[in-house]
Each structure stands twice: as structure tokens, then as C-alpha cells.
Structure 1
Amino acid sequence: MTSVVGVCIGRTWSRTVLTDETRKLIGRRAQLVEFDPDVGPRQDVRVLVTGWDAPALTGEVLDRLPSLELVLHAAGSVRGIVTDAVWTRGVRVSTAAAANAVAVADFTCAQVHLSLKNAWRLALDARTARAPVARTGVRGVDGATVGLVGLGHIGRLVARRLAASGLRVLAHDPYAGEQQGVEIEDLDTVIARSDVLSLHAPHNAATHHMISAARLALMPDGGTLLNTARGGLVDHDALVEFLTARDDVFAVLDVTEPEDLPSGHPLFTLPNALITPHIAGSLGTDQARLGELAARELFRFLDGLPLEHEISRDGLAFSA
């Protein structure tokens, strides 16, 4: 009997994550159906592909999927949709975070190089002056030190790429073991010694506002803070005060707290801050990678093979 695979991804993302080509590949092995938890139950769905705009998988939603065995999350973080009811009912979960990590790592490494060239500050200064500006504050890449906070999927990718480029890589992650090409240090040491400090930790009770006023004060002259992880890792009130007092330090924030800063927030106008609207992850054509990974996991599941990207209940606590 052909397995039935439900798709529960918002309309904005459904066809860019699960492209026509990926849908055709899946269709050779399974029947794809759209699942709307507000419409009615699906007795036959064994696997559910979720993504952005998918609802939390509460007991009520799962009641509409009595045959569900596996959730394939074709997006970044899965924490927003997996509830205790998923684990209680023995539903397995796989996430495409590893595919999303590639896009974030690409963005991060690009920002590291731009930061070491002082590119953003010089560009913003030229726009303000409406004239050419002197090439000041260019640290250069050779011999630079980059600090990473968190060595999950993204942090490890970034570390490997930067080390291959000859940069010195320091990292702090209390749960990570030794990593080739990476020097593991305590958080304060990483902050104090890094020309660029890049955040890749999950946001939870232990990491909330871990980049505090006291830790911001440790940043070296001319340093750059780069956050592509979660806005809640940084105390934004402390950051505004710090950047106002320390105009030698620059901040590149792809994520903020709240996710959409209110209009008129000081970070939009400070000359040493740059805000991008959460674009580091998979957008545009990059989104197809997520659906492709989900399809590969589906085929492994149908063939009775171990999943490559399964996440456990304990592992979820340490995911982004």
C-alpha cells in the first residue's frame, strides 16, 4: 500500500520548499496530500512534512492524524511546533536544520570577511557624508581571530570554513567536545580576544541575554558583534548603551529582540549598527534544499533505514 504523506506548510513557502521537482520525486514513492488541521482528520497520513507557518503539533492536532509516525520539518528551528504530545504519542521527528545551516554559514562567513574589511561602517559613513571616505579601520583577514558562541550545525560549519581560510577560531560551547581547528575557551575569553564575535547558540533560559552589559564591555577595540542566531541572546538595551559609548565597536544583527524592532528604535540609526531582516537562513532558491533533505529522510524512513537528521526529546532542548 502506498504511504500517504501530508504537507502542512504555509502557502507562502509550500511551493518554494517543496518544489515541483521534489514533489514529483516523492510522488514516485508516496501519495502527497495537503493537510489542514482546521478542515478535518486524515486517518491515513503516516508522515507529515511541516515548515514555516505550520501550527504547533498539539494533542488536538495530532488527534486528527491518528496514524502519524514521523514529522519531517522542512524549515529551520523545529522548537516552535513540537510539543510534549508529539513525544508522548511516540511520533518521531526529523529536521532540515542541517540544510538551513548551510545558508546561515554562508551568510556568516561573508559578514566576517566584510567586518574585517570594515566594509559596512565605511559604506554607511560614505552614505552619511554623501562623499568618499578614507579607508580607515580595515583590520584585514590574515591573522584575525573570530570567536564563535555555540558549535551546533551552524557553528561547526562556520568554524570549518573560517579555519580553512587561515583565521584563528575560538569557540565557547559547554556541550561541545574538541573540534579540529578550533580553540575551546570560556565565554569571557572568547569575547575579549575576538576581532569578530559571532553568535550561534540556542535561545533558552540559560542563554537569555548572555551577551550582557558586562560581557559587551569585554569586546576589544574595533571589534564586531555578529548575531545570526536569536535576538534574545543579546540584551538590546545594554547593546544600545554600549554602542553609543563605544563607537569603535560595530554590530551586525540579522535577528533582534523583538524579531521586528519598533519603528524609531535606536539600533536603526546608530552609525555603528546594521540591521538585516532575518535573511541569513534559507530564502529564495535556498529553500529548496530544505524540501530535498526532507525527501531524502522520507525515503530512508520508507526503506526502513536510520534517519540521518532525527532529533530526540533531549536534543530538542539544545537546538536553535
Structure 2
Amino acid sequence: MTTILTAGDHFVSNSLFRDRLRPVVPDATVRELTLPWPVEPFGDVAEVHEASGTEDQLIEALDGVEICVTQMAPLTERILKASPDLRLFCVSRGGPVNANLEAATRQGVAVTFAPGRNAGATAEHTVALMLAAARRVPATHTDLTAGTWRGDYYMYDKVGPELAGSIVGIVGHGAVGSRVARIVSGFGAQVLVADPFATAAGVAPYELTDLDDLMRRATFVTVHARATADTAGLLSRRRIELMPPGGVLVNCARGSLVDYDAVCDALDAGRLFGAAFDVYPVEPLPADSRLLTTPNLVLTPHLAGASRQTALNAAAIVAAEVDRYLTGRPLHHCANPQALADGPTAS
């Protein structure tokens, strides 16, 4: 009899996991652990990042468990050593940052993830932020609710660009970036793509170019790259200063990709018309963050991927991986395929 732990939270809940797993493993023993995210922010747990819950909670809950499905539960070396029955750890998010892959591989535990689960939601949020920044939606709403009718927003030097007829630069043409390209094309925008892993044929009908050229030409720039050592500071001060006057910059990917001080300087100087961010170098934002006082900046609290479809997609993707594992088929989204090939190794 297979024993499964669903370590859900208040977004991808245990009930969603249970509903998707029931047809796959109708006879399994299913235990549940509810983690506090997003009511409580995620953070580092021992050596892993963006996790919710504690090592002690997981060690207790994983006793005798073969399969764990979760979004935010940590998988640390200590947890792995205390969980000898664990063989599959399914993370229902775009990357398994809350799992120690090296330790999992040594322990013979396969770690899967759910790429693309929130691509639609993030793409829609990105375009919403473009429009909000270009049309001053938050600022004008705040003025009206405070009882002020600002007619001066209609002055030529205070109005922003339309997507129609503008050049939109998309940095990263993966699951999210490619969707953003399709959406803004529908508005009548011209799309430039910068992606070192893409080909001209792969991004057609859009134009593939290098990042510096994109920054020089695009009125709207949005970044959709993964956070790695190579992409840290990708949109540097030098590149931000390449943007045409009156441009709009959006980041719904990761805070490490953009030099935020450089963006604040450009907004203070009036060189950029606006910017919009959903992700930050430190989350939650510190009370003294410069981003909270810089003009013409739209901020949302890391919720670009927050939609009902995202949660449903997440649960469905991991349930499909559980099905593949139990029926002996190859996993589609395994971050460490060597783990199942080798089994546990001596430490």
C-alpha cells in the first residue's frame, strides 16, 4: 500500500491535491499537512529557499511516506536522512527551489516540478502591469478616492505610450514570455525578443535580437528569464540607461534580474515614464525600501502567478507525475533523473 503525504498550503491546498490524486491512487493512504504560506511569507529553511513549514514538521509527517506532493514544503538533507521510505517528492511550482537536489539524488529521491503551471496568469499580470504603468491607473485611482480630480494628467507631457504601435521588448521567450508576445501582438505592438537559447525560427513571427539592441529600441521592456548566477543583474544600470526616454519597464520574473536602484534613478530623473514590479530582491519589501517612495512605480506583492487556474494546473501536473511513477513510466519533469536510476548511495 502506497502512503502519500499532501503538504498543501492556502493556495495549492490539500483538497486540490486530493481531488487530482484520487483517480490516480484510489487505494493509497493519504496523509495531510497544511503549511502556513501565503498567510506567513516563505523563507529559507536550513539550506533550501522559498519554503514554508519546518524541518521537524516534515520529518514527523514523512514517517513511512513514499510520495510527497507539495508546493512549499522544504526538502533538506536533514529531512531526507530522517525519511528513508521517501522516493518521490513532487513540487507543484515552476522550479524546485525548496528542495536540496544533491542530497535528494544521494538518497535516491526523485524531485519533480511543474513548469508552465502559472504561465498564463503571469503573462496576463505582466500585460496588466504594462497598462497600469503606462496609463497611471494606480496613481489616478488613489487621487480620485482621496477626493482629487487631476485634470493635469491629460497634459501631453504626463500621458504615456500605447501598446498599439509601440515596440515591446521581451527578455526570455519561454512559457511566459511567448504568451506575453502573443497578447501584446493582439494590441498591435511590434515584438522584439532577446533570448540566448532561442532561434529566429523559434520566435517567429517576432524579431530575435541581442539584449542591448532590444533595450535601445523597445518602449516597453519586460523580463522573463530564470534567476541564475548568469542572469543576476541582467538588466544592469548600463542597459537600463539604453532605454528610450519615456519607456516602461516591467519585471514579473525574479528580483535578482534587475538593478532596482538604477530604475529608481531613471524614474526620479524622468527618463523612464514608468515601471512596474511584482518581484523584489528582498521579500516582503522592507519598510524603508526606496521602491515605496519612487514616483511612477506600480508594485504588486509577488502575485503574478496567483490565479485559480494556476493552482488547478499545479495539482494536476504533480498528480500526473505520481501516476507515471507508480506505473513505471518516465517522469516528465524530473529535476534529478539520476536519483531513480541509481537509488540511494552511501553518504
- TM-score by length of structure 2 reads 0.77
Q: Verify: 1:215 aligned to 2:239, yes or no.
A: yes
The match for 2:13 is 15
Contact 2:93 2:314 in 1 (8 A): yes
Structure 2 CA distance for partners of 1:151 and 1:91, relative to 1, 3 Å: farther
Distance 1:143 1:222 in 2: 15
The match for 1:158 is 180
Residue segments in structure 1 that go unaligned for 5+ positions in a row: 315-320
1:294 aligns with one of 305, 309, 318: 318
Distance 1:313 1:304 in 2: 13
Q: Verify: 1:97 aligned to 2:121, yes or no.
A: no
Cα shift at 1:222: 1.6
Distance 1:235 1:128 in 2: 33
Which amino acid is the alignment partner of residue 89 of structure 1?
A: Q
Cα shift at 1:228: 0.5
- TM-score by length of structure 1 reads 0.83
1:231 aligns with one of 240, 255, 260: 255
The match for 2:103 is 85
Bigger shift: residues 75-84 or 97-106: 75-84
CA RMSD of aligned residues (A): 2.9
> What number of residue pairs does the alignment pair up?
309
Distance 1:67 1:16 in 2: 21
The match for 1:181 is 205
Residue segments in structure 2 that go unaligned for 5+ positions in a row: 34-56, 339-347
**CA deviation string 1:82-132 (max 9, x = no partner):** 331122334322212311222211211333344454545655676789213
Identity rate of aligned residues, in percent? 30
1:244 aligns with one of 268, 273, 280: 268
Structure 2 CA distance for partners of 1:241 and 1:116, relative to 1, 3 Å: closer
Structure 2 CA distance for partners of 1:17 and 1:268, relative to 1, 3 Å: farther
Structure 2 CA distance for partners of 1:298 and 1:64, relative to 1, 3 Å: same
Distance 1:42 1:190 in 2: 52
Distance 1:33 1:187 in 2: 48
The match for 1:37 is 58
Structure 2 CA distance for partners of 1:41 and 1:207, relative to 1, 3 Å: closer
Bigger shift: residues 269-278 or 125-134: 125-134
Structure 2 CA distance for partners of 1:186 and 1:123, relative to 1, 3 Å: farther
Cα shift at 1:254: 0.6
Contact 1:121 1:271 in 2 (8 A): no
The match for 2:298 is 274
Distance 1:40 1:29 in 2: 19
Which amino acid is the alignment partner of residue 172 of structure 2?
A: G
Which amino acid is the alignment partner of residue 69 of structure 2?
A: V
Bigger shift: residues 19-28 or 257-266: 19-28
Structure 2 CA distance for partners of 1:302 and 1:27, relative to 1, 3 Å: closer
Distance 2:100 2:306 in 1: 20
1:60 aligns with one of 78, 83, 97: 78
